[in-house]
A and B are shown apart, each in its own frame.
Chain A
């Protein structure tokens, strides 16, 4: 297997092609644009559909249409564009359609900046659109993992007829790493039985997210939630590092998780029994793994490139059994391993107060460190 040096965005684009992508619809936005640019050349080359849409609203609704054919479709964007897509994501979910969305997260809120961030956790994991629905959310920490999860994203989308989001950050999108690309999968070009335009459906097919009678809508939502229970049972993914004898555990995903690993290794070298839990599926969240750790370790440190959006999930699982410290950088700032290593030491030497508010402690520190600019 040949290793190739590829940029994260380009690698995901190529991996999607190899996973049998039939159509792509997108709109330029940094730090995601290479993904769109790669496909603008490659898709037509292989006779597949590529449209640069008029907006992210257009793009997601083109995906909505393409998803109604049941054939592999995808869009990609970055935070402000994904905010615009939320309408369509809700509709696609409400119509039970498979689709893949790549969000290469950047600093915000508002126009923010083009630097790496993880501040889309809440809008992606806890749903930015209206109504009750869930996305499967996969968060890689390297270009190779992004490539591997891209193929899996399409499989999961089809298996559960759901939207799967590949949540990257600007760092992963822009970084070049050596990767092994997967082989080309056969491309399905005939719509499955449930889709529009299928030669196999016995009756005409109508795909809609409307349920005008509330009892029907409620029943549909029960069905969707039952399916989600299945997803929670089958599709939790995470990686544990040094957890066996860990007394304290750092929890971080994606780029933050990767940087945290460097800090954890450094702390290990100093003799501290530290482990790392790196969620790969942010939704479904590795709740059981965190729950079990909360029974046997002395403390958690959540590390994110946001104001602690995953932190809220960890706090609720920990349920005051262990203190949950927090270290985050915001607005496109990326933490150095040293900063996380310091936070680890502070956790170990801290008060171990399970009632302490990890975010408030961190914010007080941030006011010292970076100020408020006022």
Chain B
């Protein structure tokens, strides 16, 4: 082959370290990491970004995402990101949070940050359970879904209903861009990347709070192989958690994304 025949179609983004992740095989946390790294690289923001890692399976996100990072207490990432962003307003600051972290423990912090119009970006991984602690029920667990702490299936009479976080945050005036995407198939992943790009652009242009909820699989705690887990997501999560843009402020709808 001559050099001209070789075309790189796929490589590790420079924002990712070359470590093997601790995520279970097939887990979409890794996909979400990659999308973030690609977007920040494309935006030329890698050296200008500070990430806030959650408590959850992504607690070691900073081992894989290769830029400045801090590690928050469970649920408090939006508050910590606020402290950083208010101190260093020219930095790109984002949180990466699971559904237990964001929608249970940290619901106060995320609602407050969104309503303040905090100029941060939130990447929210909805996998309908507490992955790290062994698959307990989360606020996002679907009605009837069995988890290690709802062994008979979530009974909405006693255990309540799932929270649609994107829809909820979209009601807040401070939120400029709130979207939900899915990571269960290639098309969904491409759409997810575009939404993540938009979310970071919103921050870069100072238009307000931005969040992308990403429907994710947790094959280990769902007790499914990767293929079946993706299918389960499509069949059970998508109807309850539809993909879409739930908040696009006027300024965001008029926003121009450079280089795209």
Contact = CB atoms under 8 A, between A and B. Distances in A.
B86 A210 contact: no
Interface string B36-62: 000000000000001011000001001
Interface residues of A, number: 36
Interface in B43-99: 50, 52-53, 59, 62, 66-73, 76, 79-88, 91
B245 interface: no
B73 A68 contact: no
A57 B84 contact: no
Given A55-B108, A197-B88, A65 B52 contact: yes
Contacts of A202: none
Nearest to A75: B83
Contacts of B108: 54-55, 57-58
A263 interface: no
Given A62-B80, A88-B76, A197-B91, A204 B68 contact: yes
A73 B83 contact: yes
Given A53-B79, A65-B52, A196 B86 contact: no
Contacts of B70: 64-65, 68, 95, 196, 206-208
A204 B67 CA distance: 5
Nearest to B111: A54
B23 to A, nearest CB: 15
A204 B173 CA distance: 35
A209 B85 CA distance: 20
A23 B73 contact: no
Interface string A49-87: 101011101110111111111010100000000000001
B112 interface: yes
B167 interface: no
A25 B83 contact: yes
Contact of A58 (B59, B68, B69, B112): B112
A65 B84 contact: yes
Contacts of B112: 53-55, 58
B66 A58 contact: no
Nearest to B67: A204
Contacts of A59: 79
Interface of B: 50, 52-53, 59, 62, 66-73, 76, 79-88, 91, 108-109, 111-112, 116
Given A54-B108, A58-B76, A208-B53, 18 more contacts: A22-B87, A23-B86, A51-B86, A57-B108, A58-B79, A59-B79, A61-B83, A62-B82, A62-B83, A62-B86, A63-B83, A64-B72, A68-B80, A88-B76, A196-B84, A204-B66, A207-B70, A208-B70
